[in-house]
Structure 1
Amino acid sequence: MAFGFRVGVPGMSVRISTRGVRTSVGPRAARISMGSGGTRISSGVGPFSASSSLGTGRRRTSTTRSRAVAPSAAQLERARRQAERAQQEAERDAAIAQLEELRRQTTSVHLQSFPPARPPVVPGPQQLSLAWALGEAQTHHLAGLGVFARAERAAAKRRAEEDAPAYLAAEEARLHAVHSELTAEAGQWWQALVANDEETVCEAVNYAFSDNTAAGCAVGVDGDVLSVVMRQQDIDSLPDQMPGVTPSGRLTLKTLSKRDRTLWWLTSMGSNIVATLKEAFAVTPGITAIDLAVLTRLPNTQRLGFVAYGRWTRQAIEAGPWRETTDALRFLDIGQDVACSVTTTASGNLSSSIKPLDTSRLPGLQSLLDHAQDDAGPGEGTLADLDGDLRANVPAAHSAPLPDRYRIRPFAEWKNQTACPTPRPASAAPPHSPALPGRAPTTALTPGQNLTLPEEAWQGLLIAFSFVGADADLTLFLTGTNGQVSCDEDFIFYNQPSAAQGAARLLGKQPDGPHTVERAALHLAALPAHIQRVTVAINMDVDTGLSCGALTHASLYMDCVTGAAWTFQPPADPDVRAMAIAEFYRHTTNGQQIWKLRAIGQGWADGLDGLARAHGVNVT
């Protein structure tokens, strides 16, 4: 069959042109045209027609590029000048701010206040606890033991439990003794300062001056008058400009005239003089007047010289008032025999030159000028040396770190240095045994005797009961003023060996040759306030049925680490099976609470039960 092309849609017309092919369908009243140019709908009647596009055709767009115009040379120059002007104004404002701050700092030193010296308070040592001591002891005793060496570790822990209370008591007593020594030294220093001891006063003042802008040095004390040399800033070190205001009211920098510079320097010197006097009086409560001389480098000769001196009293300085920077110049009016190299002219203006003062009326300063010049030979003292000393005025005693006198001794060190004292039976002791070097002799007590314990004993007591002939147990009762325990936990015996968080503790019983010794540790200062008494008692073993009369060579031994020791030999009473041997009790004297020790030696026939009931323990 041959190729054929047929248009079979009624009313369709096809139009072909150079713009493409378009097809129209429908009558003229409602015709749709498709093809090139998009889809449109048209309607026409007679000579009139209208059409509308049903799609979006492509639109031709065009862009127009704008040509950039470079700034002219005049514009660039104008911008450069504006930037330079802004930078200059910023630098000027910064310089003005720096100069204003410098002037404020150098002329307002006297506005500072210095707290007056007070008696020094020595801080106490750190607080130690039984848990800490036990940890240190266990670390020492467990060192080198394997995890699976259970028996050895258990024995090591028992040894640690025995050593810990003694270690704690020893360290607390030692630290308390160190604190007492430091407090005594501080008290002696304060008394020397108040008494105007020359070395003490000069050291205290120079240490206070060590951070001053205008360095000062205390050089001597005569009665209640202190002599001080002060180093004033050289006038040549001041800037040559100062802030000013233009006729139009704008801030500016202007050249500082010689007279204005002299006024600035004089105000600065007065401010430093007043501040130096205020600080020196604050540090030295016994000083009533200060002779002060000011040293500086003279602008014309560049040699050191004195430019001001005088005497100022404590009353004049403390009366003030010191509120404004201009108050610094009042140093010229409130002192005695004041001389200053800056004088007032006949017209009322300040002199613009600074000349050295005539020191012939002051032998000390004149001698310094005569024998210590800038050009002294090798090995000779110079004013420049004094200048250097003033600029580096930090006492050597404070430049090196001080040793820590509150250092805690490691447990191993204590173990090597300290051993628990072994009580000697009273009958075996020689009647006149010499005291050990550095230790107080043992005090033997009689029944009913009492004495005041030293403060060192409050920090740690070791108690040892030594006996032969029968078995006995050591017990402690922590009671109130009525002699009764507040609870059963305040009863310390073999089944309850510790109370008051370890402040009272039994250390165990050990053989010592033919004797048996049971020890206890007591920290009186750590006891709660409601515990007013600590009774030390013994009771015979109930299974033996023996009385205290079966004990031979029985002795109670008590001592503290500082060496003070007391011993008491209780009576061998055959009618009692329990006995209160001694007691520690609080006592108030002159408003101060102290601890005292009393020897007792009284007992109960019904043994431990009667002893416990007498002290308020519930016995069932």
Structure 2
Amino acid sequence: MGPFYASTALGGGRRRTSTSRSRPRAAPAPSGAQLERARRQAERAQQEAERDAAIAHLRALRQQMTSVHLQSFAPAHPPAVPGPPQLGLPWALAEAKAFHLAGLGVFARSGRAEAKLRAEQDAPGYLAAEQARLQGVHGELAAEAHQWWQALVANDEATVCETVNYAFSDNPAAGCAVGVDGSVMSVVMRQQDIDTLPDQTPGVTSAGRPTLKTLTKRDRVLWWLTAMGSNVIATLKEGFAVAPGITAIDLAVITRMPDTQRLGFAAYGRWSRQAVEAGPWREPEDALRFLDVGDDVACAVTTTASGNLSSAIKPLDTSRLPGLQSLLDHAQDDAASVDATLADLDGDLRATVPATPDAPAPDHYRIRTFAEWRTQTPSVAPPPAIGEPAPAAPTALVPGQNLTLPDEAWDGLHIAFSFGGADADLTLFLTDAQSRVASDEDFVFYNQPSAAEGAVRLLGKLNDGTHTVERAAVHLAALPEHVQRMTIAINMDVDTGLTCGSLTHAELSVGCATAVWAFQPPADPAIRAMVVAELYRHRSADGRPVWKLRAVGQGWADGLDDLARAHGVDVG
């Protein structure tokens, strides 16, 4: 055999190339058995995924239902009312200018100049009025908050029940405070019906694979009892947290009995604050300790002779539990039957939902516009017309001089302290005849700008560039009888090291609708606080009660602290 044979056998020395598109070789079709096997595998994977999801859901549900008592509740504290917004003269001037310049063209020079002048005249009054009004609103809010807190800690029944029920409104087991007797509060709680629990529970097969198994009756009772205990402890913890004056809670649990499908009491007892707060509550299983930490606790689930939980739930007999019957009577408005009362309680508890206001909360500190202020303030009048007499000049006083205030002063007295050179604060003390305050609330200063339910108010400081003026308003007719004197004082900032000798052009003016009095205190470099003047009650020659004003000018070297202590304030 030679080369010719090899060439022929191998197709020659040159390979053929084809330009036609080659067709892919068809894959063999799966057999029926293969398709069936794939379908069964997909179904099995789907079933396992559904099983795993159901197991995860059941575990999360049980954890959620039996761990409510593990959360913490912040204790109630006196409400802090935020102060009003801080307003300044630039803001008031801008508002006044915007009002007076409205409608004036840019080329109306004389009109715009006149409008700006009116704005400069009106701005201080607008600012003082808004500051006084907002401080009055703050005083009212603070008084309401103080009154509410005092009622809460004093265990006022309506206040305690309303506060507690608001706190209970988002609980998984609805609770309702139905009464307060001394320091003991009565609460009714609606526990989830046992029939609403799932029928299955997570388990494992003999081979150790996860599975779902039927929930036995005893396991169902254990789950339900643990959930009830968790809700009971959570309800007690929250009740004690929001009602600081309560020392014990009588609590009754109602639910629908599985055998009769009628409402009945499932648990009742009295739990003290000390026992509940002592805990400890760390694990879901701790919820069952609600049966041990209370007094005279009765439960619809009992234990058998062998120590296991009974699988039966029997409603409590109210006739054998005087405390429970008393709580039930307290919740009844009339002589209704027990079933009717339970039905009413059940309806009320199920209707308890978190309050969702339809409208936003009111803005108590809404600032009036300049236009509103002018409309609502008739006392804002134009300057006197030509030919009208100008207001009388202030009457100057000297140290020790006193005078009887006119009757008009009872309805409104305005105090202003103007000064330059350094910063100073106006301070007022409402005292008895011996110049001692009845409590620290009668001390009016920058951290407590009002007293006597708003009858005395600091109105803040205004700065006109060269002088600072701090104002106060006093309604003498509204002062309580125990206030026999009112000390008007000033004080320097001790941290600056400055004394009253640093003040320039210092003057105190006191005025009412018909008269004004002025006093220039001494610029003493040895003092840091000074009683500038005082108002005091007196009897006229004909026996009428009057108020008198006296110029003083007496100082204290160590500043506000010593001045406050001299008037009976507990500075600390």
Q: Which residue, out of 334, 338, 344, partners 1:385?
A: 344
Q: Name 2:37's counterpart in structure 1.
A: 78
Alignment of 1:26-45 (within 5 A): none
Kindly state the Cα deviation for residue 75 of structure 1 after the two structures are TM-superposed.
1.0
State the Cα deviation string for residues 385-444 of structure 1 (Å, max 9, x = none).
Answer: 3212112225879777543221111111112233359966689xx98854489x346799
**Which one-letter code corresponds to 2:253 in the other structure?**
V
Instruction: Say whether 1:148 aligns with 2:107.
Output: yes
Shift of 1:537: 6.1
Q: Which amino acid aligns with 2:428?
A: T
Q: Tell me: CA distance 1:372–1:395, structure 2 relative to 1, closer, same or farther (3 Å).
A: farther
Taking a change above 3 Å as real, the CA distance of residues 452 and 233 of structure 1, as seen in their structure-2 partners, is same
Equivalent in the alignment of 1:296: 255
Structure 1 residue 498 and structure 2 residue 472: aligned? Answer: no
2:118 equivalent to 1:159: yes
Q: Distance in 2 between matches of 1:94 and 1:199?
A: 47
**Do structure 1's residue 213 and structure 2's residue 172 form an aligned pair?**
yes
Secondary structure at the counterpart of residue 318 of structure 2: coil
Letter of the 1:459 counterpart: L
| RMSD, matched Cα | 4.1
Residues 193 and 431 of structure 1, relative CA distance in 2, 3 Å threshold: closer
Which residue pairs with 2:326 in the alignment?
364
Among 64, 68, 88, the residue aligned to 1:109: 68
Give me the whole-angstrom Cα distance separating, in 1, the residues matched to 2:229 and 2:261: 21
Contact persistence 2:461–2:469 (CA under 8 A)? no
1:583/1:91 CA distance change after superposition, 3 Å: farther
* TM-score, normalization by structure 1: 0.64
Distance (whole Å) between structure 1 residues aligned to residue 278 and residue 62 of structure 2: 26
Asked if the contact 1:241–1:255 (Cα under 8 Å) also holds between the matched residues in 2, the reply is yes
Change in Cα spacing, 1:436 to 1:353, as seen in structure 2 (3 Å) is farther
C-alpha distance in 2 between matches for 1:66 and 1:597: 114
Q: Is the 8 A contact 1:136 1:411 kept in 2?
A: yes
Is the 2:416–2:509 Cα contact (8 Å) retained in structure 1?
no
Q: Relative to 1, partners in 2 of residues 1:261 and 1:162: Cα closer, same or farther, differing over 3 Å?
A: same
In 2, distance between residues paired with 1:223 and 1:331?
A: 23
Q: Which residue of 2 aligns with 1:416?
A: 375
Q: What is the alpha-carbon distance in structure 2 between the residues aligned to residue 91 and residue 250 of structure 1?
A: 15
Question: Residue 452 in 1 paired to residue 448 in 2?
Answer: no
After TM superposition, the structure 1 = structure 2 runs for residues 535-550 of structure 1, keeping only pairs within 5 Å, are none
Q: Give the equivalent residue in structure 2 for 1:192.
A: 151
Question: Mapping of 1:203-352 within 5 angstroms?
Answer: 203-352=162-311
Report the AA paired with residue 29 of structure 2.
A
Could you give the per-residue CA deviations for residues 181-201 of structure 1, whole angstroms, max 9, x where no partner exists?
A: 222221222121111111111
Give the secondary structure class of the aligned counterpart of 2:30.
coil
- How far apart are residue 146 of structure 1 and its match? 1.9
Aligned pair partner of 1:91 in 50, 53, 58: 50
Separation in structure 2 between the aligned mates of residue 444 and residue 84 of structure 1, nearest angstrom: 88
Please tell me whether Structure 1 or Structure 2 has the larger radius of gyration of its CA atoms. Answer: 1
Q: Describe the superposition over 1:486-529 as per-residue Cα deviations: whole angstroms up to 9, x where unpaired.
A: xxxxxx9xxxx5248x7679xxxxxxxxxxxxxxxxxx999998
Partner of 1:568: 517
Moved more, 303-312 or 389-398: 389-398
Contact kept, 8 Å, 1:308 with 1:357, in 2: the verdict is yes
Distance 1:207 1:431 in 2: 54
Cα distance in 2 for partners of 1:443, 1:264 equals 71
Counterpart residue type for residue 452 of structure 1? L
Partners of 1:128 and 1:168 within 8 A in 2: yes
Quote the residue 2:538 is aligned against: none
Which ranges of structure 2 fall in alignment gaps of 5 or more residues? 1-13, 382-389, 396-402, 418-425, 430-443, 451-456, 472-489, 535-549, 554-572
For residues 51-74 of structure 1, what are the alpha-carbon distances to aligned partners after superposition, in whole Å with 9 as ceiling and x for unaligned?
A: xxxxx9984477464123211111
CA distance in 2, matches of 1:349, 1:200: 43
Is contact 1:120–1:186 with CA below 8 Å preserved after alignment? yes
Alignment of 1:511-530 (within 5 A): none
Name the SS for the 1:154 alignment partner.
helix
Aligned to 1:407: 366
Contact 1:584 1:596 in 2 (8 A): no
d(CA) in 1 for partners of 2:259, 2:491? 71
Partner SS state of residue 309, structure 2: coil
How far off its partner does 1:94 sit?
Answer: 0.7
Q: Which amino acid aligns with 2:159?
A: T
CA distance in 2, matches of 1:244, 1:320: 32
Match of 1:122 among 63, 78, 81: 81
For the residue of structure 1 that corresponds to 2:110, the secondary structure is helix
Which of the pair is proportionally richer in helix?
A: 2
Secondary structure at the residue paired with 1:164?
helix
SS state of the match for residue 365, structure 2? Answer: coil
Q: For structure 1, which runs of at least 5 residues remain unmatched after alignment? A: 1-55, 377-381, 463-491, 506-523, 539-554, 571-579, 603-620
- Is 2:174–2:352's contact at 8 Å kept on the other side of the alignment? yes
SS at match of 1:498: coil
Render the CA deviation track for 1:336-386: whole Å, top value 9, x for unaligned. 01000000011222111212101112333454689545975xxxxx43332
Deviation at residue 76 of structure 1 after TM alignment: 1.0
Q: Provide the TM-score with structure 2 as the length reference.
A: 0.69
Tell me how far apart the structure 2 counterparts of residues 153 and 170 of structure 1 sit (CA, whole Å).
Answer: 25
Shift of 1:157: 1.5
Counterpart CA distance in 2 for 1:584 and 1:209 is: 62
2:413/2:511 contact within 8 Å kept? no
- The residue type paired with residue 220 of structure 1 is G
**For 1:459, what is the secondary structure of its paired residue?**
strand
What pairs up with 1:39-58 in 2 under 5 angstroms? none
- Which AA in structure 1 matches 2:162? E
In structure 2, the partner of 1:175 is: 134
Q: Secondary structure at the match of 2:516?
A: strand
- Aligned pair count reads 449
Deviations 1:530-561 (A, max 9, x none): 587666569xxxxxxxxxxxxxxxx95547xx
What is the Cα deviation at residue 112 of structure 1? 0.6
Cα distance between partner residues in 2 of 1:557 and 1:374: 70
Using the alignment, how far apart are the partners of 1:372 and 1:233 within structure 2? 24
1:573 equivalent in structure 2? none
1:374 and 1:431, CA in 2 relative to 1: closer, same or farther beyond 3 A?
closer
What is the rounded CA distance, in whole Å, between the counterparts of 1:194 and 1:125 in structure 2? 27
**Cα deviation digits, residues 452-507 of structure 1 (max 9, x gap):** 37535532479xxxxxxxxxxxxxxxxxxxxxxxxxxxxx9xxxx5248x7679xx
